[in-house]
Structure 1
Amino acid sequence: MTSQRKSTRSAAVIGAGQTGVTAALGLLDAGFDVTLYSDRDQRALRDDVPATGTALEFGETQQAESALGLDTYTARAPRHTGLTVRIAGPEREELIAFDGHFDGYVGVAVDTRLKADERLTAFAERGGRFIVQQVTPEKLGSIAAGVDLTLVATGRGGLSELFPVDESRTPYSAPQRSLLTVTVTGLDHDDSVFAHRSRAGGARSGFSIFAEQGEGWWGPYLHKDAGPSWAFLGWARPGSDWEKRFAAADSADSALRIVRELYRDYIDWDLPEVQATQVIAEDPHSWLKGAVRPVVRAGVGHTGSGHPVASLGDTSAAYDPIAGQGAQSGLIQAQRLVAAAAVHDGPFDEEWIGRQYRSFLAARGDAANRVTRLFLGDPELAEIGNTLFAAAAVEPRFASALVGLLHRPQPFLGIDSLDAAGRFITEVTGENADALLARFEPAGRFDRSTFTSSLATA
């Protein structure tokens, strides 16, 4: 959508990542005079930095982008039609396997650099101002003094310290996992790929949980240069063998080698597909390692001169990516802020900003935070998680409902006990939860891949 009236209000957005540029473009189309600030120019934002995670988006986020008139990439990116899960115990016993279908939506994982680049081009073409400049706290004060609304989307670092940590929503004092990600080619997305996991094959994401070590995920991806591809994202528990392995990565080649060795030694059921992958030579930034402390911050901060500014995206809430909620929440938050600002006639003061943030937390943020804790295996949610995952292994309808929490996490807010978990199982399946769970049996041995790479047989 494009503004049809002269701008009478102004906004500044600090940070030109996926979420920041989406908000800037949305405000511009809503009739604001918008200036977007970044410490890197457009080419550097596309080619000189790694993608910030896999940015897998589900239906609610795509609806938010569509409401802003933006491309959701569902016609361009390889689609995720569901999630297959394998869970192994501390002695490597193979316990749980299920295949959850995404009901009524698809997932797409798009290189954040590609999305930000294309939206930044549209922003400039429609008359937005893009300024390459490092914004310090002092500079932010002068920027905020000159506009009606200021959004800070600089991520977990940068200006995030202006927004106090919400201790009531931040249960962890340190990262819960070390992370390693690499984007690769060499695999198609047809039903011959990962066929041992699902008849849908390469249209599914694959998630493996290894007790006391960590988790590994493979999923279809749209890379900025290579196009349709695959992404690996791994999580290593503190002190684990996986953590030591991840720490040794120093390039895309070494990251992929570490992943191959990890699957050889621990997750051999997926090994043939993993061995067939290749690094993306034209992108030296196709890999990333690090750690994220899950933190929820205040929605309102203040410059040194007292001007209120709004946090956005990872500046508001830094999620561990294990449940894919970072990209979801940031884009939904951006759309909600744009929609509210478009119809607001008064000042964008502390009260208005705070009200919008509380509304976002109630509608998405709190639920996204809790679902992330579920998939992290938070001890407070361990018994609930064990019950839900066991039910998913028994009943395909419940498997789809469980993975559906990644798309719409709100139902999990009410699951605060084993009794509530049982009611959720019964509501979804129409069957008494105890009777359903009584049919659970450990997998015994997961199906192994028989995939043969076309390159190996050519």
Structure 2
Amino acid sequence: MRKILVVGAGQSGLQIALGLQSQGYEVTLMSNRTADEIRTGRVMSTQCMFHTALQHERDLQLNFWESQAPKIQGLGVSVAAPGSWAEGPAARAIDWLGRLDGYAQSIDQRVKMAGWMETFAQRGGQLVIHGAAVGDLDYFSRTYDLVLVAAGKGELVQMFGRDAERSPYSEPQRALAVSYVHGLGPRPEHPDTEAVRCNLVPGVGELFVMPTLTTSGRADILFWEGIPGGPLDAFSGVKDPAEHLSLTLELMERYVPWEYARATKVELTDAGGTLAGRYAPTVRNPIGRLPGGGLVLGVADVVVANDPITGQGSNSASKCAAAYLSSIVEHGDKPFDEEWMRSAFDRYWDTAQHVTKWTNAMLAPPPEHILNLIGAAGELQPAADRFANGFNDPADFENFFYDPEKTQAYLAELSGAGAA
């Protein structure tokens, strides 16, 4: 029986650990917190998982909360008219809703990670509650057939060198501020449709609103992404959760008043329902070398960390776990050497490269052809739907998003079909 150590109990680490466990591997999982500490702690992220990522969970029968979580059927885009907020609340220049082919869901990671961790232990997995240092891994690499590092923060990440060619940004591109709330009203235009709302405020940043399931039931996430140094970059000194929410709403009233109108009665889900921070999007070398010569393989955002502007973090983590799981099982009893590690990562990068390209494009000011595409989607429903479904399969953006000529040809084709 092959022995595998997974360090880090997030989406990817737990999905791999539970997947390997179901295949009969001897798995040890290291977490720096207990399930109870996770469940009662601070929110860790925003997350909205689309069809393909959700299917990976279903394949492993880990979709424990699927019937309880809101079923997100659409993805809406609103754009504030540039400069319209100078004299008062902003006005909307664009507003549309794309329909998803398969529904998306968001489950607070405090709920999911705590539940999955307890399941892993109940099924006989060895759960070690301990933060791991490089020195620990040096020892473990000699006692396990494979060590996977899925802890995306802290000292361990430093083992994996930055891949400059694949990492165009060296500084954070957005200041992030999250609030989990109860009491958000429906959008009056589509009162019966659960949808993620992407609100773009040119030159200022973005507000995302997404329905979720949290520890206290159904809720919504209000998520500001502010351009550093701009008016939304205002949360770094804010420690009090009530003050954090108050500032979130104040900024909504000015820059996205159509969202603020349904948020006048919101309250935080719990004292741990806020989060603020920033990080530079980075792709790293997937193999970490230990002082004693051992090798470890980086997982998910340890090796590919994108800005959350495209909502891909938990989706990528799920897809990475699925790819690595297949690579491990297919490898049988052969050694997990450097060549295998590189091939396992390359298999994941086939998917991840499209996420990275799209996310980095969305962080930059949009070129004219993208503005035309987003504007046209308000008149051409198939364009709105295709853009929305790109969140599930970012590879499709190659066909109509980056190249002005492809975008123009696609819109001309749709307009012609509409006219016909």
Q: TM-score range by the shorter chain?
A: over 0.9
* Residue matched to 2:14: 21
Q: For 1:243-267, what per-residue CA distance to the aligned partner results, in whole angstroms no more than 9, with x for missing partners?
A: 13x3343232112111211122222
Q: Deviations over 1:5-59 (max 9, x none)?
A: xxx10100011122211211111111110111122222212223x2221211000
Task: Identify the residue that residue 256 of structure 1 maps to in structure 2.
Answer: 245
CA contact (8 A) 1:371 1:406 kept: no
SS at match of 1:221: strand
Match of 2:65 among 66, 69, 73: 73
Alignment of 1:357-376 (within 5 A): 357-362=345-350, 364-376=351-363
Instruction: Give the counterpart letter for 1:431 in structure 2.
Output: G
The equivalences for 1:117-196 within 5 A come to 117-187=114-184, 193-196=186-189
Give how far 1:74 is off.
2.7
* 1:306-317 pair list within 5 angstroms: 306-317=293-304
| Matched-pair contact (CA < 8 Å) for 1:222–1:229 | yes
Separation of aligned partners in 1, 2:119 and 2:73: 30
Runs ≥4 residues deviating over 6 A: none
2:278 matches 1:274: no
Aligned twin of 1:56: 48
Residue 102 of structure 1: aligned partner: 100
The aligned counterpart of 1:445 is: none
Measured against aligned partners, the alpha-carbon deviations of 1:270-304 in whole angstroms (never above 9, x if no partner) come to 22211121112xx3211100012111112222211
Any unmatched runs of 5+ in structure 1? 1-7, 437-458
> What SS does the corresponding residue of 1:102 show, helix, strand or coil?
strand
CA distance in 2, matches of 1:431, 1:195: 32
Q: Which amino acid aligns with 1:43?
A: D
Structure-2 change in CA distance of 1:354 and 1:95 (3 Å): same
Paired amino acid for 2:232 = W
One-letter code of the match for 1:356?
A
Tell whether the 8 Å contact from 2:47 to 2:106 is kept in structure 1 after alignment: yes
Whole-Å separation in 2 of the counterparts to 1:29 and 1:431:
52
1:38-91 Cα offsets, whole Å, 9 max, x none, are: 22222212223x222121100010111122221163311012111111112431
Query: What is the aligned partner in structure 2 of residue 36 from structure 1?
Result: 29
Q: Deviations over 1:199-254 (max 9, x none)?
A: 544x1122211112111111111102x1111111111112211113x334323211
1:336 equivalenced with 2:323 (yes/no): yes
Q: C-alpha separation between the residues in 2 aligned to 1:390 and 1:83?
A: 15
Deviation string, structure 1 residues 320-370 (Cα, Å, up to 9, x no partner): 1111111100111111111221221211111111101111111x1011112
Cα 1:200–1:397 change in 2 (3 A) is farther
Q: Structure 1, residues 303-325: CA drift from partner, whole Å, max 9, x if none?
A: 11122211112111111111111
Aligned length: 412
From 38, 48, 56, the counterpart of 1:45: 38
Q: Would you say the 8 A contact 1:141–1:307 is kept in 2? A: yes
SS in 2 for 1:34: strand
Partner-residue secondary structure (3-state), 2:367: helix
Shift of 1:416: 3.6
Preserved CA contact (<8 Å) 1:73 1:108:
no
The alpha carbon displacement at 1:113 in A equals 1.4
Contact kept, 8 Å, 1:370 with 1:413, in 2: the verdict is no
1:431 is aligned to 2:416: yes
Between the two proteins, what is the percent identity of the paired residues? 28
Which of 227, 230, 255 does residue 237 from structure 1 map onto? Answer: 227
Aligned counterpart for 1:84 among listed residues 72, 76, 97? 76
Please give the TM-score of this superposition, normalised by the length of structure 1: 0.85
Partner of 1:421: 407
Q: Does 1:210 align with 2:195?
A: no
Q: Which residue of 2 aligns with 1:383?
A: 368
Kept in 1, the 8 Å contact 2:35–2:113? The answer is no
- TM-score, with structure 2 as normaliser: 0.93
Matched residues in 2 for 1:241 and 1:353: separation?
Answer: 43
Pairing 1:300–2:287 present? yes
Letter matched to residue 54 of structure 1: T
Q: Is the 8 A contact 1:163 1:301 kept in 2?
A: yes
